[in-house]
Structure 1
Amino acid sequence: MNKYSISEFIKKSEQKEKGEGFFELETPRMLEVNLNGQVWAKAGSMVAYEGHIKFEREGILEQGIGALFKKAISGEGASLMKANGQGKLYLADGGKKVIILHLNNESISVNGNDLLAFTPSIHHEIKLMRKVAGMMSGGLFNIRCSGVGLVAITAHYEALTLRVTPGKPVITDPNATVAWSGNLEPQFQTDISLKTFIGRGSGESIQMRFEGDGFVIVQPYEEVYMQAQS
């Protein structure tokens, strides 16, 4: 058979049953949700589905006054939708790699732009990083996920996890920071000399500082977030 034939392409790329459960990595950059009920997902992340599934955008008041502020300044970085029904749902986000994590009475904070999906058993809370609001136009929100269940996050290229231990803080670029353990509270700092060296008004001049005992996930890419248009 010709290796470039349509039938050969279909054979190599078609969906395959892996039997991995509710969340399944169909490809490194595509999440399959074997839906029988409800799942939360990033708004706009649906690329295809089979079966009977209805989508509902998260109500603006479901997260309280913080969500109203979010809508005003942060664009779509932390917008969620509910998918209800039965079938197969395929989610992706800009070709980023998908990471599936199982929380067992644990918590993780995820940059609002890097959270792809989570099961309804997971408690989620959108948090505004107030101290950095005046410094940068995007990446202002993170979503804290906790409890027991599955969480799918995304990262550009291969993610790197850095351990944070007492007395050895980790400093990161906010635009390259994907997630961190829920017990850590990042502090923001500026480096004027680095800002001058880089020669731009944001990015490395603003840093996230993690202290304590936990971990930080970073990506080899600086994601720049679009600000909402009025």
Structure 2
Amino acid sequence: MRSDLFGSDKLERESLQPGLALQNSKMLKVELEGECLARTGSMVAYQGDVRFQALGSGGVGRWIKQKMTGEGVPLMRISGRGDVFLADRAADVHLIDLDPGDSLTINGRNVLAFDAALDYDVRMVQGVGMMSASGLFNCVFSGQGRIAITTRGTPVVLQVDQPTYADPQAAICWSASLRTGYHRAEQLGLGTLLGRRTGEAFTMSFAGQGFVVVQPSEEVHHGLGGEGQQGGSGNQGLLGGLLGG
């Protein structure tokens, strides 16, 4: 049988060491010898003795935060020995290695998988408040290990060495040491009063030393898990959030 489909660029890539690696730009390969954590529903294929366990947001404390805020990463634990292939709607996949002392803030909807040894929490985005369409809460990762994130298109990495601003729907991740805030980009005037809009009413601001990763797509926000409330009704109240699923 002959076909370009069977070309060497499409064959399974063998990893030099266990863990997370790119199969291609749209797919993550996990050579599993133990366990890792991944977004629920992201598995597209696997080989070997592999088990999957639903974890919600990854612990009771994080589950409560998710229910209170509408934010979180729906996770599953993958354990065993074998090869697991993960993807998220053909989004681009990128790998980030954290070293001891590193700390990274990531929009949960862009988290695909990460080493089980990493620490993570759901924390408030400081200085942005209710104005942030990227959500009041993001995931903060620290420790030593590898994370796989997704973007819609090829991103740009901005070094924050001067005042830096990004659309909150396009900002994917940034150094956790950066100070975030709110910045009105649209100038108020007669046109604004008449209902004319630029579509750039406000941006997130970043200050300090570090970097911001921005994708070329302004996704409609549905919470960190990518499965949040429709129609912008992201704040359903503590009781409603705790009881709603």
TM-score class normalised by the smaller sequence: 0.7 to 0.9
Paired with 1:46 and 1:128, the residues of 2 have a C-alpha distance of: 29
For residues 41-87 of structure 1, give each alpha carbon's deviation from its aligned partner in whole angstroms, at most 9, with x where no partner exists: 122211111112222222452415312224xx35xx62222112211
Residues matched between the structures, number:
218
Q: Could you tell me which residue of structure 2 aligns to residue 179 of structure 1?
A: 173
RMSD of aligned C-alpha atoms?
2.7
Judge conservation of contact 2:120–2:139 (CA < 8 Å) in 1.
yes
Judge conservation of contact 1:139–1:175 (CA < 8 Å) in 2.
no
Matched, 1:189 2:183: yes
After TM superposition, the score normalised by the length of structure 1 is: 0.82
Structure 1 unmatched runs, 5+: none
SS at match of 2:144: strand
Q: How far 1:214 sits from its partner (Å)?
A: 0.7
SS at match of 1:68: helix
Q: Could you tell me which residue of structure 2 aligns to residue 49 of structure 1?
A: 46
Judge conservation of contact 1:78–1:141 (CA < 8 Å) in 2.
no
Could you tell me which of 88, 93, 112 is aligned with 2:83?
Answer: 88
Q: Cα distance 1:187–1:130, how it changes in 2: closer, same or farther (>3 A)?
A: closer
Percent same amino acid among aligned pairs? 33
After TM superposition, the score normalised by the length of structure 2 is: 0.78
Could you tell me which of 192, 196, 199 is aligned with 2:197?
Answer: 199
Q: Could you tell me which residue of structure 2 aligns to residue 228 of structure 1?
A: 229
1:79-158 alignment, distance < 5 Å: 79-105=74-100, 106-129=102-125, 132=128, 134-135=130-131, 139-158=135-154
For residues 95-125 of structure 1, give each alpha carbon's deviation from its aligned partner in whole angstroms, at most 9, with x where no partner exists: 1211111111111111111111110111011
Which runs of structure 1 show a deviation greater than 6 angstroms over 4 or more consecutive aligned residues?
A: none
Paired with 1:131 and 1:137, the residues of 2 have a C-alpha distance of: 13
Paired with 1:198 and 1:115, the residues of 2 have a C-alpha distance of: 36
Q: Could you tell me which residue of structure 1 aligns to residue 62 of structure 2?
A: 63
SS at match of 1:113: helix
* Amino acid across the alignment from 2:214: V
SS at match of 1:44: coil
Q: Cα distance 1:121–1:96, how it changes in 2: closer, same or farther (>3 A)?
A: same
For residues 176-205 of structure 1, give each alpha carbon's deviation from its aligned partner in whole angstroms, at most 9, with x where no partner exists: 0010012113112334537948738xx632
* Amino acid across the alignment from 1:24: A
1:2-21 alignment, distance < 5 Å: 6-12=2-8, 13-19=10-16, 21=18
Structure 2 unmatched runs, 5+: 223-227, 231-243
Q: Cα distance 1:129–1:198, how it changes in 2: closer, same or farther (>3 A)?
A: farther
